[in-house]
């Protein structure tokens, strides 16, 4: 039997804290010790007011990069397009605040 000790999982407050994994084993190890913060998940699901009206655009992305983005989004239980929009929104806010 185990020692009876429960490990406390670390809450991830920002998506940037989640690394790009080299393997499924590395990803499994990470998620065994970490979990997304509830507020982070709520914002991912709710989105923000700016996304209520959207325009379709077309981007050309390297297929390997897209595969990695999709894998990363899947590991976070997100739609990859929503995750990309979230990244763009976060970066835009950062750029505007740095001016």
Number of structural domains in the chain = 1
Q: What is the pLDDT of residues 23-77, one digit of tens each?
A: 889 989 998 999 888 777 777 666 555 545 678 899 999 999 999 999 999 998 8
> Among all chains, which residue has been given the structure tokens 């989105």?
47
C-alpha to C-alpha distance for 76 and 92, rounded to whole angstroms: 22
Domain that holds residue 75: 14-45+59-98
* Confidence (pLDDT) at 69: 95
The answer to the question of residue 50 being in a domain is: no
Q: Which residues contact 96 (CB under 8 A, 6 or more apart)?
A: none
pLDDT tier for residue 87 given thresholds of 50, 70 and 90: very high
Please give the pLDDT value at position 55: 82
Does any domain span residue 86? yes
Q: Is the pTM of this model over 0.85?
A: no
Beta strand spans in the chain (E): 10-12, 34-36
63 located within any domain: yes
Instruction: Say yes or no to pLDDT of 11 above 70.
Output: yes
């Amino acid at each position: 039997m185990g020692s009876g000790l429960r490990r406390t999982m670390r809450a991830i407050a920002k998506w940037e804290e989640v690394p790009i994994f080299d393997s499924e084993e590395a990803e499994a190890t990470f998620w065994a010790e970490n979990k997304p913060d509830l507020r982070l998940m709520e914002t991912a699901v709710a989105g923000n007011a700016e996304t209520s009206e959207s325009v379709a655009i077309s981007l050309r992305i390297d297929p390997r990069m897209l595969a990695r983005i999709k894998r990363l989004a899947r590991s976070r239980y997100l739609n990859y397009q929503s995750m990309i929009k979230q990244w763009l929104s976060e970066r835009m806010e950062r750029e505007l605040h740095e001016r």
